Amino acid sequence: MLVVMELDRLDIALLTALRESPRAGPLELSRRTRVARATVQARIQRLESAGVITGYGPDIDLEAAGQLLSAFVTLEIAQGALDEVAAELAAIPNILEAYMTTGAADVVCKVAAASHADLQETLLELNRSSSVVRSTSVVVLGTVVPPRVLPLLERSAEQRDARAPAYRGR
């Protein structure tokens, strides 16, 4: 069951500090946020337990790792074939993400490739599926807004009072 958590300014400060320095320990986070180390540890544990913090893996620059192209691919799929398509997409390493959507497309995929030939092979592999009725792709030329979540969470937290005394009234 999904537990929806209301984040306050201290939660956002901790998430920001962890985003900037994922290897920072509780003592360093305590210094950065100016709250007690026990408070930091309790908050991080609460954020992890609620599923807000889902991991501490490294951010990876795909271009630096040799995957020079990105594309978005929309798929129209056969009626009732979502489970089959999901399994097929999960088996293709070039598929980074895939989402069910409303509108003309049933699924939108984010794809990465090392070259145009690699991208073409991925697109051909998608089209070989008997469940894919039609696909459309657009190649990414550049990033306008990189992936982010903190501005959204900060805006929501500004409307709530912090539970930690040091963060009340900030």
Closest CA to 72 of 119, 130, 104: 119
State pTM to two decimals: 0.82
State which H helix or E strand residue 45 sits in.
helix 37-49
Nearby residues of 159 by Cβ (< 8 Å), 6 or more positions away? none
The CATH class for the domain spanning 69-139 reads: alpha beta
Element (H, E) at 47: helix 37-49
Phi, psi of 106 (to 5 degrees): -90, -30
Residue ranges of the chain assigned to CATH 3.30.70.920: 69-139
Please give the DSSP secondary-structure letter assigned to residue 57. P
Residues of the chain with CATH 1.10.10.10: 9-58
9-58 has CATH 1.10.10.10 classification: yes
Please state, in angstroms and as integers, the Cα–Cα distance from residue 92 to each residue in 12, 27, 59, 155, following that order: 35, 42, 21, 37
What string of pLDDT tens digits covers the 170 residues of the chain?
Answer: 676 889 999 999 999 999 999 999 999 999 999 999 999 999 999 999 999 999 988 889 999 999 999 999 999 999 999 999 999 999 999 999 999 999 999 999 999 999 999 999 999 999 999 999 999 999 999 999 999 999 999 988 877 655 555 565 55
Burial environment of residue 72 by CB neighbours within 10 A (0 to 12, 13 to 18, 19 or more): middle
